[in-house]
Amino acid sequence: MSAPFEERSGVVPCETPWGQWYQTLEEVFIEVRVPPGTRAQDVRCGLQSRHVALAVGGREILKGKLFDSTIADEGTWTLESEYAADPWVQDQMQRKLTLERFQKENPGFDFSGAEISGNYTKGGPDFSNLEK
């Protein structure tokens, strides 16, 4: 029996009352449900090396200390419609997740200079039905 891609790649979404979060080997993603009509100026996002805070429309959504330090200057946030997410961003995330999956499944190989092309959507081709 094969595990879903999310489990095989180490990316397991964690549901919360305000949305979900998940992480890859090097990044953390936080997705927050916001009311329809929310504008970027309604969002206050603060990321420091060991703290994170988020408020939408003056209402605090999350605030707390992080487990480990981050590079705050590398943090970004976007406000996207569920139906109009940036295709380029989705494409880049899928490529990165696929490379991470390959690295995790093949620890003896160096994928640092690898580029993904072809069928990488949703983690690349499904080989779960092949015998090992």
Q: d(Cα 93, Cα 63) in Å, to the nearest integer?
A: 26
Residue 105: name the closest of 90, 85, 125, 78 by CA: 125
Q: Is the pLDDT confidence value at 58 over 70?
A: yes
Tokens of 85: 């997410």
pTM here?
0.52
Percentage of residues in the chain with pLDDT exceeding 90? Answer: 12
Average pLDDT over residues 27-52: 87
Q: Is the pLDDT confidence value at 60 over 60?
A: yes
| Phi/psi at 119 (5° precision) | -85, 90
Residue 4's contacts (CB-CB under 8 Å, 6 or more residues apart) are none
Residue bearing tokens 């139906």:
83
